[in-house]
Amino acid sequence: MVDKINQKFQKGSIMINLTEFHSYVADNQSNICQITAIHNGKTIIHDTWNGYKSDDTVHTMSVTKSIVSLLVGIAVEQGLIGSIDDYVLDYFTDYKIKRGEKTIQKVTLKNLLTMTAPYKYRSEPWSKICVQDDWSIAALDFLGGRRGMTGEFQYSTLGIHILTGIIATVSKMTTVDFANQYLFELLTIAPRKIYVAPDADAHKAFTIEKTPKGNIWFSDNKGVGAAGYGLCLSAEEMSKIGLLCLQKGVFNNKRIVSEKWIEESTKVRLCCDGNFRDMKYGYLWWIIDENVGSYAAIGNSGNVIYINPKKDLVVAVSGYFKPTVFDRIDFIKKEIEAKIEE
């Protein structure tokens, strides 16, 4: 619903008719639930669609990955993780390597963060990993393979669950508790709760249902939050994460993530193929435009946290499940960013 006080927002170099904008989204972006946009520290759009309220949450899909990148950075800063160049198996000392396995011993945390870790599958083995109590160990069983360390981009949602497993191990906390204490609470985001699906039908329903989700993070039976998907947030909450990144790790004058980690994780690490619009990748962040330093957390169904430092702009978009929508970067650029002059 459009804020009646702000039918038209015009401040400095911005001109957006919010009534027209609301109608445009309703007519052309059918699954959008919420949008929050912040420019120069001021909220310029804060609107909802499809019966959602501003504090309702959606399953943000792969936006989760970029939040996990922030949590890894926090763990590194705290000294819980020595270095992202550490081998993955350094953090799973009890894991039994299968006979003849060599590749898995060479995989580093950086490989997981850049999606260059090799796996023994072509498509994600959902039915084999998600039925296990400990998804981290189950994912390790698929890490490596005969092809060796190729350095190729291999996008994985299940494989990177190893990262949240590492955070849980080194912090001696559930991933959700770690995120609540060291990220969400400091961003004035309500604590998330662990959600474990009781069966495959509930797992599917969590993904495809169009109704609000609650303050939850989909987790395995060990209470380890899924690293590749499963975090539920509102657009307003996502915008706070975007603002944290825009301000290089600071929120409300408090350092939460190191400036170095923000810079390192949003640098181009490799280029992706046409399946991913030839975009570039950092540490679980998509790099949109190197020239202006813009980057984004992108999830299926058009869930996005978009950050453009040059324009001092953060845009967060939430949407219910609609698999034909890959991202909304073009929409953001045309309908919001283009209305902001240099």
What sign has the CA pseudo-torsion 115, 249, 60, 50?
Answer: negative
3-state secondary structure of 314: strand
Domain membership of residue 81 as a residue range: 75-171
293 and 243 in a common domain: yes
The pLDDT score that the predictor gives to residue 261 is 98
196 and 286 in a common domain: yes
Look at strands 313-319 and 303-308 and give their pairing: antiparallel
Rounding to the nearest 10 degrees, give the CA dihedral for residues 180, 185, 190, 196: 0
54 lies in some domain: yes
35 and 103 in a common domain: no
CATH number of the structural domain spanning residue 84: 1.20.58
The pLDDT score that the predictor gives to residue 277 is 77
C-alpha to C-alpha distance for 157 and 89, rounded to whole angstroms = 19
194 lies in some domain: yes
Q: How many CB atoms lie within 10 A of CB 185?
A: 13
Cβ-contact 314, 242 below 8 angstroms:
yes
219 lies in some domain: yes
C-alpha to C-alpha distance for 65 and 227, rounded to whole angstroms = 6
Pick from 135, 155, 171: which residue ends a domain?
Answer: 171
3-state secondary structure of 264: helix
308 contact partners, CB below 8 Å, separation of at least 6: 288, 289, 292, 293, 294, 314, 337
Residue showing tokens 């039915």: 127
The pLDDT score that the predictor gives to residue 11 is 45
Angle between helix axes 161-171 and 63-77 (nearest 10 degrees) is 30
Cβ-contact 164, 174 below 8 angstroms:
no
The pLDDT score that the predictor gives to residue 19 is 95
154 and 86 in a common domain: yes
The pLDDT score that the predictor gives to residue 324 is 86
The pLDDT score that the predictor gives to residue 55 is 98
325 contact partners, CB below 8 Å, separation of at least 6: 31, 300, 301, 302, 319
Pick from 148, 171, 194: which residue ends a domain?
Answer: 171
212 and 148 in a common domain: no
3-state secondary structure of 337: helix
Pick from 171, 204, 236: which residue ends a domain?
Answer: 171
110 and 189 in a common domain: no
Q: How many CB atoms lie within 10 A of CB 4?
A: 8
27 and 142 in a common domain: no
37 and 18 in a common domain: yes
The pLDDT score that the predictor gives to residue 2 is 46
Cβ-contact 96, 278 below 8 angstroms:
no
C-alpha to C-alpha distance for 264 and 72, rounded to whole angstroms = 12
The amino acid at 114: T
Q: How many CB atoms lie within 10 A of CB 82?
A: 12
294 and 206 in a common domain: yes
The pLDDT score that the predictor gives to residue 6 is 44
pLDDT in tens, 45-82: 999 999 999 999 999 999 999 999 999 999 999 999 99
The pLDDT score that the predictor gives to residue 144 is 96
158 and 284 in a common domain: no
295 lies in some domain: yes
C-alpha to C-alpha distance for 214 and 324, rounded to whole angstroms = 24
Sequence-ordered alpha helix ranges (H) in 4-77: 18-28, 63-77
Residue showing tokens 């899924």: 226
187 and 160 in a common domain: no
83 lies in some domain: yes
The pLDDT score that the predictor gives to residue 275 is 75
70 lies in some domain: no
Q: Indicate the pTM of the whole model.
A: 0.95
267 and 252 in a common domain: yes
CATH number of the structural domain spanning residue 230: 3.40.710.10
Task: List the chain residues with pLDDT less than 70.
Answer: 1-14, 341-342
| Residue 64 tokens, joined | 């989760």
pLDDT in tens, 23-39: 999 999 999 999 999 99
User: How big is the CA angle at 50 (ends 32 and 25), to the nearest 5 degrees?
Assistant: 45
pLDDT in tens, 288-321: 999 999 999 999 999 999 999 999 999 999 999 9
The tally of domains found in the chain comes to: 2
| Residue closest to 236 by CA, chosen among 45, 20, 1 | 45
256 lies in some domain: yes
User: How big is the CA angle at 132 (ends 91 and 169), to the nearest 5 degrees?
Assistant: 25
